[in-house]
Amino acid sequence: MNDNSFLNEVGKNLPAIITALTAIISAFVGGLFTWLITRKQIKSKEYEIKSNVELRARELIYNSYQKKLKRLLQIIESNTGSRYSIYATFVLEGFEKNIDTVKKYCDATKKLIKDVLNPYEELKHRIEKENIKDEILLKKIEDIKNLQNKIFDENKIINNYEEEFLLLHKFLSLLNDVDEDLIEIKSLSLFQKYL
């Protein structure tokens, strides 16, 4: 009888037991879904944070690289105004009247390039360090080497300062082009993933 009374009690309370089990299962399934969704959101946020940190690190590397490349460009740009004003002066007034100014400028610029910049070696080092294979850029580097050799050829003394001035102008302009190309190449290599 005891078994029968237990079954009777269970029978009477069966709807309550089913309701309780349904609530427990629903809570478990709801908790499981909440856990899965939260886990997915955490992984998504981790990926977002990692991507932002990586992008910021690339920006910092790029800014650092750009500052290094701008050092040479600043020296070149500080010279540009002088070059153009000297050139304009001797075109307007005649080269012969301004030979001393042009000679001083050429001598000072050559000394700056030789003693301070040594551009060909510096650019060659950067290209090798970055493992850059851009053919147009490599051609410009070779042009810089050839111009640098021509300007500083000990056996060939340029008596025509107009020619020397134009060589120096071409040389410094080419250095500026190469620096801008290097910045663009570095930028593309760092940010290609985000484009």
pLDDT given for residue 89 in this prediction: 66
Average pLDDT over residues 112-136: 73
In a domain, 123, yes or no: yes
In a domain, 12, yes or no: no
List pLDDT tens digits, range 150-195: 887 766 655 677 777 778 878 888 877 887 787 777 777 777 776 6
In a domain, 164, yes or no: yes
In a domain, 112, yes or no: yes
d(CA 155, CA 120): 20
pLDDT given for residue 139 in this prediction: 87
pLDDT given for residue 117 in this prediction: 61
The alpha-helical segments, DSSP class H, found in 94-160 are: 99-112, 119-130, 135-151
d(CA 54, CA 56): 5
In a domain, 52, yes or no: no
In a domain, 89, yes or no: yes
Burial bucket for residue 122 (CB in 10 Å: 0-12, 13-18, 19+)? middle
The residue segments making up the domain with residue 85 are 57-194
d(CA 84, CA 141): 24
Average pLDDT over residues 86-111: 72
> Quick check: helix, strand or coil at residue 163?
helix
Contact 115, 139 (CB under 8 A): no
In a domain, 29, yes or no: no
What would the two tokens of residue 20 be? 């309780």
Tally of domains within the chain: 1
The answer for residues whose C-beta is within 8 angstroms of residue 140's C-beta and 6 or more apart is 174, 177, 178, 181
Average pLDDT over residues 125-130: 76
- The CA–CA distances, whole Å, from 110 to 38, 105, 132, 145 equal 66, 8, 28, 14
d(CA 113, CA 119): 7
In a domain, 174, yes or no: yes
**What average pLDDT does the chain have?**
76
Q: What is the share, in percent, of the chain residues with pLDDT greater than 90?
A: 1
> Quick check: helix, strand or coil at residue 94?
coil
